[in-house]
């Protein structure tokens, strides 16, 4: 494991330790993924008659999206740098009686995924690639391109530059990686301002990363957090600004 991967593992292990202690880790399927994957399946298959599809989530965390996919009868694999997160994902799949739907749960980086070329009908990521430096982000998008078979889908859910945190810190963008902030304001390690590096994507950037794909739709999704949640993050108001990327290879 490279030093950079070890650092990422340490960061996310510490984050999950705090998230477990405060019950803050995500246990609900991410709406943007559910919606986009549902569109993809509806477009191609008759409801309740899915063939044996193979999906993977890159940076699967505690596994709520894997559970949702597996409940539909899809074979799921999860990749995560944090062994604690993978353990939570495994437990959650077991608790839901979905173990036979698991392809592989892989501890490692999304920059180098131990799955064969063109082995996936779908690759998903939610709030993972945004925490990688430029070199690793590019490697991860290359992995998506390698793993997804022609006709397969990529769904991503990632920070966009209208986000409150980006708007407030725009003057601190890294000079060699525009759109990226390196924030460490102390406090809970599961907030953007404390997790270290965060990249805020643009639509144009996504279009160019997927230039060889047949369809790319980066859709802007914005919503205000309730005031109580905004205050927990140290803001009076807090706009989540995300790109939902739906791309067909
Ligand atoms: C914000 S959480 C999102 C988890 C999950 N996708 C969800 O929507 O609930 C980010 C996840 O990415 C994982 N992660 C961060 N960097 C990674 C990397 N380089 N390779 C694999 N996983 C990584 C973390 O361990 C964590 O589980």
SS (H, E, C) 182-202: EECCCCCCCCCCCCEEEECEC
pLDDT of residue 36: 97
Residue 19 has pLDDT above 90, yes or no: no
pLDDT of residue 192: 84
List pLDDT tens digits, range 2-15: 898 999 999 999 98
Cβ 79 under 6 angstroms from ligand 1: yes
* Nearest atom (ligand 1) to Cα of 85: 27
Cβ 85 under 6 angstroms from ligand 1: yes
Task: Tell me the pTM.
Answer: 0.96
Q: Which residue has the tokens 């601190």?
A: 172
**Ligand 1 centre distance from Cα of residue 192 (Å):** 13
Model confidence band, residue 158 (pLDDT cutoffs 50, 70, 90): very high
Kindly report the protein residue whose alpha carbon is nearest to atom 17 of ligand 1.
81
Kindly report the protein residue whose alpha carbon is nearest to atom 10 of ligand 1.
128
**Ligand 1 centre distance from Cα of residue 28 (Å):** 15
Cβ 128 under 6 angstroms from ligand 1: yes
pLDDT of residue 90: 98
Average pLDDT, the chain: 94
Given a contact cutoff of 8 angstroms between Cβ atoms, the answer to whether 77 and 55 are in contact is yes
Cβ 156 under 6 angstroms from ligand 1: no
Given a contact cutoff of 8 angstroms between Cβ atoms, the answer to whether 249 and 149 are in contact is yes
Cβ 11 under 6 angstroms from ligand 1: no
**Mean predicted confidence (pLDDT) in 128-154:** 97
Report residue 117 CA to chain centroid gap: 20
Cβ 9 under 6 angstroms from ligand 1: no
**Mean predicted confidence (pLDDT) in 122-135:** 97
Report residue 126 CA to chain centroid gap: 2
């Amino acid at each position: 494991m490279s030093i950079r991967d070890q650092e990422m593992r340490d960061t996310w292990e510490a984050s999950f330790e705090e998230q477990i202690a405060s019950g803050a880790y995500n246990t609900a399927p991410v709406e943007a993924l559910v919606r986009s994957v549902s569109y993809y399946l509806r477009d191609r298959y008759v409801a309740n008659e899915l063939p044996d599809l193979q999906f993977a989530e890159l940076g699967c965390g505690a596994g709520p999206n894997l559970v949702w996919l597996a409940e539909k009868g899809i074979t799921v694999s999860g990749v995560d740098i944090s062994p604690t997160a993978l353990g939570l994902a495994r437990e959650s799949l077991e608790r839901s009686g979905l173990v036979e739907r698991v392809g592989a749960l892989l501890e490692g980086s999304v920059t180098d995924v131990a799955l064969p070329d063109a082995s996936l009908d779908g690759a998903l990521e939610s709030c993972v690639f945004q925490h990688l430096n430029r070199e690793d982000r590019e490697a991860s998008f290359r992995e998506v391109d390698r793993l997804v078979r022609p006709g397969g889908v990529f769904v991503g859910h990632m920070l966009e530059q209208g986000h409150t945190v980006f708007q407030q810190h725009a003057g601190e963008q890294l000079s060699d990686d525009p759109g990226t902030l390196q924030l460490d304001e102390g406090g809970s390690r599961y907030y953007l301002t404390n997790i270290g590096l965060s990249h805020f994507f643009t639509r144009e950037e996504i279009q160019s990363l997927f230039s060889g794909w047949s369809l790319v739709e980066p859709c802007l999704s914005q919503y205000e957090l309730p005031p109580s949640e905004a205050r927990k993050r140290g803001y009076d108001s807090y706009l989540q600004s995300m790109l939902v990327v739906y791309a067909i290879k």
